[in-house]
A and B are shown apart, each in its own frame.
Chain A
Amino acid sequence: MGLKIIVLAKQVPDTRNVGPDAMTPEGTVNRAALPAVFNPEDLNALEQALRLKDANPGSTITMLTMGLPKATEVLREGLFRGADKGVLLTDRALGGADTLATSYSLAQAIKKIGDFDIIIGGRQAIDGDTAQVGPQVAEKLGLTQITYTEEILECTKEKIVARRHIDGGVETVEGPMPIVITVNGSAAPCRSRNIKLVMKYKNAKTQQEIDALEEEQKAFYAERPYLTITQWGAADIDADPNQIGKAGSPTNVKAVKSIVFKAKENKTLTASDADIEGLIVELIENNTIG
């Protein structure tokens, strides 16, 4: 019996390597200066989904992402690794959303996708580190959740057993289906691209991208429906304008500043033996160490 799996993925600026040009003079994030990557823990989530698909023939994986049109890249990446379908949720009206408005939008898109058994996403995204979207999507859909999952041990249409990280340890829990799972970075890494799937899906495009093509190329896509990535806007998911984007976000950014630390008076030393022995002797004599 195949499972209907939805994987939530996000394209994020690679904040692991933030340089000095990452901020605009106005103090906003200069996304152009940072490479966009597949959020790392969403890749761990995709791997758990692919394992479910391997173990349950007939399963399908639908990848859902919300972001700029460019975020289609993570959907294609998912197809290259074994996902079956991609849905891009993109609309200016959805922009400026905090986690709550984002969760509402994703939950609306999931309702439109309709039939599903399990929703799997990364624990958190590296651009915000909040870990809020997974549980909030679950709440909006009226489902329970297993967060910080390290491995799905068992999963049927009725129940799931998973091992999860907790503070200072691990626990194994059993929950009902359907359910929302968030996957921790300590879970198995995602398998690499499958070369056959890369060949199959390398030309996958959103409807908007296809519409911009020449007639002849459009015919190519008409014959190959699997190459069309679904694209939805706010109207397609029947979104309440008061619950999306900036208007649907309870949190407001009051101020953003780059912190300048007040320089302390300090001693600068070299790596020479004399300097280091001097420091060690000083620290031992005043009982700082030893």
Chain B
Amino acid sequence: MNNVFVYCELEGNKVAEVSQELLTKGRKLANTLGVQLEAVCVGAGLEGVEKQIIPYGVDKVHVFDAPGLFPYTSLPHTSAVVNLFKEELPQICLMGATVIGRDLGPRVSSALHSGLTADCTQLEIGEFDMNVKNEAGEMVKKHYENQLYQIRPAFGGSIIATIVNPEHRPQMATVREGVMKMEILDENYKGEVIRHDVDKYVPVTDYVVKVLDRHVEAAKNNLKGANIIVAGGYGVGSAEGFNLLFEFAKEIHAEVGASRAAVDAGWIDHDRQIGQTGVTVRPKVYIACGISGAIQHIAGMKEAGIIISINSDPNAPINQIADYIITGTIEEVLPKFIKYYKKNSK
């Protein structure tokens, strides 16, 4: 009862990295609260899946294993999670802010009438005071301990909001892949595996959506694991402008990323977006080309080792966190980068 739960996303019987990142975070939250960490796996062919889960410090793994549960469809997964939660009454539930998590999370929160915050960048435990009506109908201050602070940039990244759900459980949050760090706690951690009778939780009438055809490919880029990233923003000016970034990136063995503004402008693929609603990266070097630095972008790259900002505006917000600031246009600076890299590298 009242434990921390993580919904583990599965591709076949492989647990998604984002889920393992959330298990790591969930373990820390459970420690702060003095409760257990539990995981939920819904899929097919899940024999031994706990080996990818328990080492993160998971006390209990709930397994729902039936042929109709993979690939993911909305209703069966919702029923498994909702009906389990009605028995277990978790205080916190975390899910990946993936296509699956963002399909499932809202349905679960609606069915349980609990609050859900999307795309959190930090999760903490703290207290909260709120004015509530007492029995006599007067407004009085009520104090809440051990609340989950769901922290996320909001409103196009111009602000950071801390959200709490004091009166409703579970407190639900989704988090993007790469935002939290993944860390095995103990290879020999002792956890319990509970195999549930799927038919008791999922009515047969739930299997109404059929997946006719499915193609999943490995990511086309390796932004998450890249040592060097050359990222372009609105200041790049055009899709052609990005060619210069690709040319430079090829030269120095870097990956190309982008800000939301450049993606929205249609200059570059969505899967290269860095930031709160894109990928979170931790490269050794981050070269920001014409990126102004909205909070939502900075949330996804601030942990880079060295940040180099190339911007024609000397007051661009990103310069605040940069180690090197070059004031100039992309067309002017990048060709010189390429020229002098070629000249000086062996």
Binding site for B on A (CB under 8 A): 13, 15-16, 18, 22-23, 27, 29, 98-100, 103, 126-136, 138-140, 144-148, 161, 165-176, 185-186, 249-259, 261-264, 266-271, 273, 275-277, 279-281, 283-284, 288-290
B107 and A273 within 8 A (CB): no
Chain B residue numbers with a CB within 8 Å of A270 are: 326-328
Residue of B nearest to A174 (CB): B210
Cβ of B102 and Cβ of A147 under 8 Å apart? yes
Please judge, given known A-B contacts A29-B155, A289-B228, whether A147 and B103 are in contact too, CB under 8 Å. yes
Contacts of B150 in A (CB 8 A): 251
Closest-CB distance, A62 to chain B (whole angstroms): 23
Q: Are B326 and A271 in contact (CB under 8 A)?
A: yes
Contacting residues, chain B, for A176 (C-beta < 8 A): 208-209
Q: Find out whether the CB atom of A276 lies under 8 angstroms from the CB atom of B340.
A: yes
CB-based contact A259/B295 at 8 Å: yes
Which stretch of B33-41, B86-94, B163-171 is in the interface? B163-171
Q: A144-B74, A166-B216, A250-B115 are in contact. Are A256 and B209 (CB under 8 A)?
A: no
Rounded to whole Å, the gap between the CB of A257 and the closest CB of chain B is: 6
Say yes or no: A129 contacts B119, CB within 8 Å: yes
Q: What are 24 A-to-B residue pairs whose CB atoms are below 8 Å?
A: A18-B158, A99-B106, A130-B106, A135-B105, A135-B107, A170-B215, A171-B71, A171-B212, A172-B214, A173-B211, A174-B210, A253-B163, A258-B158, A259-B159, A261-B298, A262-B320, A266-B323, A268-B325, A269-B325, A276-B337, A281-B340, A281-B344, A288-B284, A288-B285
A167-B98, A167-B99, A250-B168 known; A259-B160 Cβ under 8 A: yes
Q: B107 to A18, Cβ gap below 8 A?
A: no
What residues of B have a CB within 8 angstroms of the CB of A262 in the complex? 320
Find out whether the CB atom of A269 lies under 8 angstroms from the CB atom of B324.
yes
Q: How far is the CA of A139 from the CA of B102 in the complex (A)?
A: 14
Q: Roughly how many angstroms separate A72 CA and B341 CA in the complex, as a whole number?
A: 56
CA distance A10 to B264 in the complex (A): 19
The smallest C-beta distance from B139 to any residue of chain A, in angstroms, reads 13
Contact A16 B106 (CB under 8 A): no
User: In the assembled complex, how far is the CB of residue A60 from the closest CB belonging to chain B, in whole angstroms?
Assistant: 25
Task: Judge whether B213 and A171 touch: CB under 8 Å.
Answer: yes
Given the known A-B contacts A23-B158, A252-B166, are A171 and B324 also in contact in the complex, defined by CB atoms under 8 Å? no
B321 within 8 A of A: yes
Q: How far is the CB of B331 from chain A (nearest CB, A)?
A: 10
**Pair A254/B159 contact, Cβ less than 8 Å:** no
B293 to chain A, nearest CB (A): 8
Residue of B nearest to A127 (CB): B155
Give the interface centre of A98, A148, A185, A273 by most chain B CB atoms within 10 Å: A98
Residues of B within 8 A of A (CB): 71, 73-75, 78, 98-100, 102-107, 109-111, 113-119, 128, 130, 149-150, 154-168, 208-219, 228, 252, 254, 260-261, 264, 270, 277, 284-285, 294-295, 298, 302, 305-306, 308, 314, 317, 319-329, 332-333, 336-337, 340-341, 343-346
Whether B344 pairs with A284 at a CB distance below 8 angstroms is: yes
Nearest-CB residue, chain B, relative to A248: B113
Q: With CB as the reference atom, state the residue of chain B lying closest to A276.
A: B336
B residues in contact with A131, CB < 8 Å: 102, 106, 118
**Cα A129 to Cα B77 with chains together (Å):** 23
Give the A-B contact count at a CB cut-off of 8 A: 252
Report whether A168 and B217 are in contact in the complex, using a CB–CB cutoff of 8 Å.
Answer: yes
Choice from B114, B128, B130, B333 contacting A276 with Cβ under 8 Å:
B333
Q: Is the CB of A266 within 8 A of B118?
A: no
Report the minimal beta-carbon distance from A196 to chain B, rounded to whole angstroms: 30
B109/A132 in contact, CB under 8 A: yes
Q: Judging by beta carbons under 8 Å apart, are B211 and A275 in contact? A: no
Return chain A residues, CB-CB under 8 Å to B327. Answer: 268-271
Report chain B residues within 8 Å CB of A134: 106
Chain B positions within 8 Å of A185 at CB level: 270
Provide the bound-state CA to CA distance between A259 and B293, in Å: 12
Chain A residue contacts of B105, Cβ below 8 A? 132, 135
Q: How far is the CA of A131 from the CA of B306 in the complex (A)?
A: 34
Which chain A residue lies CB-closest to B117? A251
Residues of B within 8 A of A133 (CB): 106
A267 surroundings in chain B (CB, below 8 A): 323-325
Smallest beta-carbon distance A226→chain B, Å: 35
Chain B residue numbers with a CB within 8 Å of A146 are 209
* Cα A13 to Cα B260 with chains together (Å): 17
Q: Shortest Cβ distance from A101 into chain B, in angstroms?
A: 10
Q: How many Å lie between the Cα of A214 and that of B263 in the bound state?
A: 49
Say yes or no: B107 contacts A289, CB within 8 Å.
no
Cross-chain contact A266 with B319 (CB below 8 angstroms): yes
List the A residue with the shortest CB-CB distance to B102: A131
Q: Which 5 A-B residue pairs are closest in the complex by CB-CB distance?
A: A271-B328, A15-B156, A250-B115, A251-B115, A135-B106
Cα A112 to Cα B104 in complex, Å, equals 26
Chain B residues near A103: list those with CB within 8 A: 106, 110
Cross-chain contact of A138 among B107, B149, B260, B325 (Cβ < 8 A): B107
B264: nearest chain-A partner, CB-CB: A16
The answer to whether A99 and B252 touch across the interface, beta carbons within 8 angstroms, is no
Contact A271 B336 (CB under 8 A): yes
B164: chain A residues at CB < 8 Å are 251-252, 254
Instruction: Report the Cα distance A225→B316, complex, angstroms.
Output: 53
* Shortest CB distance A175–B (Å): 4
